[in-house]
Amino acid sequence: MLGNRSVTDFDHTHDQVFPVRPDLASTAHINEAGYREAYDQAASNPEAFWAKEAQRVAWIKAPTKIKNTNFTGDISIKWFEDGVLNASASCLDRHLAERGDQTAIIWEGDNPNDSKHVTYRELHEQVCRFANVMKGLGVGRGDRVTIYLPMVPEAAVAMLACARVGAIHSIVFGGFSPDSLSNRIQDCNATLLITADEGRRGGRSVPLKANADKALASCPSVKNVVVVKVTGGKVAMQPGRDHDYATLVADASPVNEPEPMNAEDPLFILYTSGSTGQPKGVLHTTGGYLVWASYTHQNVFDYRPGDVYWCTADVGWVTGHTYIVYGPLANGATTLMFEGIPTYPDASRFWQVIDKHKVSIFYTAPTAIRSLMRDGEGPVKKTARTSLRLLGSVGEPINPEAWLWYYHVVGDARCPIVDTWWQTETGGILISPLPGATALKPGSATLPLPGVRPLLVDGDGKELTGATEGNLCLSDSWPGQMRTVYGDHARFKQTYFSTFPGLYFTGDGARRDADGYYWITGRVDDVINVSGHRMGTAEVESALVAHPKVAEAAVVGFPHDIKGQGIYAYVTLNAEEEPTEELRKELVAWVRQEIGPIASPDAIQWAPALPKTRSGKIMRRILRKIAANETESLGDTSTLADPAVVTELVQNRVG
397 binds ligand WTA (CB under 6 A): yes
396 binds ligand WTA (CB under 6 A): yes
321 binds ligand WTA (CB under 6 A): no
| Residues with Cβ within 8 Å of residue 109, at least 6 apart in sequence | 115, 200, 339, 340
Q: Decide whether 31 or 424 has the Cβ nearer to ligand WTA.
A: 424
Given 180, 183, 319, 572, the residue binding ligand WTA (CB under 6 A): 319
400 binds ligand WTA (CB under 6 A): no
Exposed, middle or buried: residue 312 (CB in 10 Å: 0-12, 13-18, 19+)? buried
Q: Phi and psi (nearest 5°) for 473?
A: -125, 170
Q: Decide whether 142 or 597 has the Cβ nearer to ligand WTA.
A: 597
Q: Beta strand 390-394 with 334-338: parallel, antiparallel or unpaired?
A: unpaired
Pair 573, 549: CB distance under 8 Å: yes
Judged by CB under 6 A, the chain residues 244 through 273 that form the site for ligand WTA are: 272
Exposed, middle or buried: residue 159 (CB in 10 Å: 0-12, 13-18, 19+)? buried
520 binds ligand WTA (CB under 6 A): yes
Binding mask 467-506 toward ligand WTA (x if CB under 6 A, else -) reads: ---------------------------------------x
Give dist(CA 472, CA 322) in Å, integer: 22
529 binds ligand WTA (CB under 6 A): yes
Using the contact rule CB under 6 A, the part of the chain among 25-33, 243-251, 383-391, 519-527 near ligand WTA is 519-527
> Across-strand partners of 170?
146, 269
CB of 282 to ligand WTA, least distance (A): 8
Q: Decide whether 213 or 508 has the Cβ nearer to ligand WTA.
A: 508
CB of 107 to ligand WTA, least distance (A): 23
Q: Decide whether 371 or 605 has the Cβ nearer to ligand WTA.
A: 371
Given 271, 310, 422, 505, the residue binding ligand WTA (CB under 6 A): 422
394 binds ligand WTA (CB under 6 A): yes
Whole-Å CA distances, 50 to 76, 423, 450, 520? 18, 21, 10, 27
Q: Decide whether 527 or 610 has the Cβ nearer to ligand WTA.
A: 527
Pair 208, 596: CB distance under 8 Å: no
Which amino acid is present at 596?
G
Give dist(CA 542, CA 438) in Å, integer: 44
Q: Phi and psi (nearest 5°) for 228?
A: -85, 130
Using the contact rule CB under 6 A, the part of the chain among 77-85, 316-324, 327-335, 380-388 near ligand WTA is 316-324
- CA-wise closest residue to 352 among 392, 383, 320: 383
CB of 400 to ligand WTA, least distance (A): 12
Which of helix, strand or coil describes residue 469?
strand
Judged by CB under 6 A, the chain residues 532 through 551 that form the site for ligand WTA are: 534
Using the contact rule CB under 6 A, the part of the chain among 8-16, 98-106, 393-401, 452-460 near ligand WTA is 393-401
Whole-Å CA distances, 415 to 97, 295, 391, 406, 409? 33, 21, 6, 9, 11
Pair 293, 327: CB distance under 8 Å: yes
CB of 295 to ligand WTA, least distance (A): 16
Helices 620-627/644-651 angle, 10° precision? 20
424 binds ligand WTA (CB under 6 A): yes
Binding site feature residues for ATP:
395-397, 419-424, 508, 523, 534
CB of 273 to ligand WTA, least distance (A): 8
Given 49, 271, 421, 500, the residue binding ligand WTA (CB under 6 A): 421
Judged by CB under 6 A, the chain residues 565 through 624 that form the site for ligand WTA are: none
Given 198, 419, 594, 602, the residue binding ligand WTA (CB under 6 A): 419
Give dist(CA 309, CA 390) in Å, integer: 10
Given 423, 468, 475, 542, the residue binding ligand WTA (CB under 6 A): 423
Q: Decide whether 83 or 454 has the Cβ nearer to ligand WTA.
A: 454
Q: Which helix (H) or strand (E) segment is 446 a member of?
A: none
Give dist(CA 460, CA 28) in Å, integer: 41
Whole-Å CA distances, 96 to 122, 124, 309, 345? 10, 8, 19, 37
Q: Decide whether 347 or 394 has the Cβ nearer to ligand WTA.
A: 394
Pair 451, 429: CB distance under 8 Å: no
Whole-Å CA distances, 604 to 178, 570, 581, 601, 621? 24, 6, 10, 7, 17
Q: Decide whether 289 or 422 has the Cβ nearer to ligand WTA.
A: 422
Q: Decide whether 155 or 270 has the Cβ nearer to ligand WTA.
A: 270
Q: Decide whether 179 or 419 has the Cβ nearer to ligand WTA.
A: 419
Angle at 624 between CA 621 and CA 628, to 5 degrees: 140
Using the contact rule CB under 6 A, the part of the chain among 5-13, 342-350, 389-397, 635-643 near ligand WTA is 389-397
Give dist(CA 81, CA 12) in Å, integer: 48
| CA 507 to chain CA mean position, Å | 15
Using the contact rule CB under 6 A, the part of the chain among 371-379, 518-526, 589-597, 630-638 near ligand WTA is 518-526
445 binds ligand WTA (CB under 6 A): yes
Binding site feature residues for CoA:
201-204, 319, 531, 592
Pair 309, 360: CB distance under 8 Å: yes
Q: Decide whether 281 or 507 has the Cβ nearer to ligand WTA.
A: 507
Binding site feature residues:
201-204, 319, 395-397, 419-424, 508, 523, 531, 534, 545, 547, 550, 592
Q: Decide whether 135 or 511 has the Cβ nearer to ligand WTA.
A: 511
The residues that touch ligand WTA, with contacts defined as CB under 6 A, are 272, 317-319, 393-397, 419-424, 445, 506-508, 520, 522-523, 529, 534
